[in-house]
Amino acid sequence: MAILALGKAEANSIAALDQVMGGFGAWAVAAVVLGACAAKALNLYSNTMSARVLDLKAPRWTLAVAGGAVGFVLAIIGHKDFLLRYQDFLLFLDYWITPWLAVVLVDFYVFRNRRPEGFSRAPRLNGRGLGSYLIGVGASVPFMFGH
């Protein structure tokens, strides 16, 4: 709907959406806001679970507030040149997730580590896995520049 409203001469985006949607523009914006709130609640929950894995001793509500505050500060910092910063963020994720996924998939399909109890018998630090991961990150370094 926003694409249809983009061509309208209205300076007010909700008024333009009202024209396109027959008076439901404000409702559409409210639905988008509520959907975003629901998604962010799940993101904060995941954030607190990740912090728990790091063995942080703070209560979950404190970790959620801290995660929200960090996200808010990053949003304030990154609001200018948003598309460029978002692209850089996605590329950053790609540069570390791809080698990690390669290590996990090779471990699962090649070395056949498919049983959950295998994790309990795993060493605290797997040097071969970490080394493979670092080689993968190093292989992605030439692609990090010049996008």
Question: Same structural domain for residues 25 and 10?
Answer: yes
69 and 86: one domain? Answer: no
Choose one of 58, 79, 100: the last residue of a domain: 79
Phi, psi of 23 (to 5 degrees): 95, 0
Asked if 65 and 129 sit in the same domain, the reply is no
Residues 42 and 109 reside in one and the same domain:
no
- Which pLDDT band holds residue 147 (cuts at 50, 70, 90)? low
pLDDT per position as a tens digit, 15-73 = 777 777 777 777 888 888 899 888 888 888 888 888 877 778 888 889 889 988 988 89
To the question of pTM greater than 0.75 for the whole model, the response is no
Q: Give the number of other Cβ atoms within 10 Å of residue 14's Cβ.
A: 15
Same domain, residue pair 50 and 85? no
Of the three residues 79, 111, 129, the one that is the final residue of a domain is 79
Instruction: Please tell me the total count of domains within the chain.
Output: 2
Within 13 Å of residue 60, how many CA atoms lie on the same side as its CB? Answer: 10
CA-CA-CA-CA torsion sign (97, 38, 73, 58): negative
Q: Are residues 67 and 101 in the same domain?
A: no
Please tell me whether residues 74 and 93 are part of one structural domain.
no
* 6 and 67, same domain (yes or no): yes
Domain that holds residue 7: 1-79
Task: State whether 95 and 73 are in the same domain.
Answer: no
Residues 98 and 147 reside in one and the same domain: yes
Residue 113: predicted pLDDT? 63
pLDDT tens string 64-109: 899 889 888 988 988 888 888 888 888 888 888 989 999 888 888 8
Would you state the torsion angle of the CA atoms of residues 110, 111, 115, 120, taken in this order, to the nearest 10 degrees? -140
Which H or E run contains 64? helix 60-78
Same domain assignment for residues 66 and 96: no
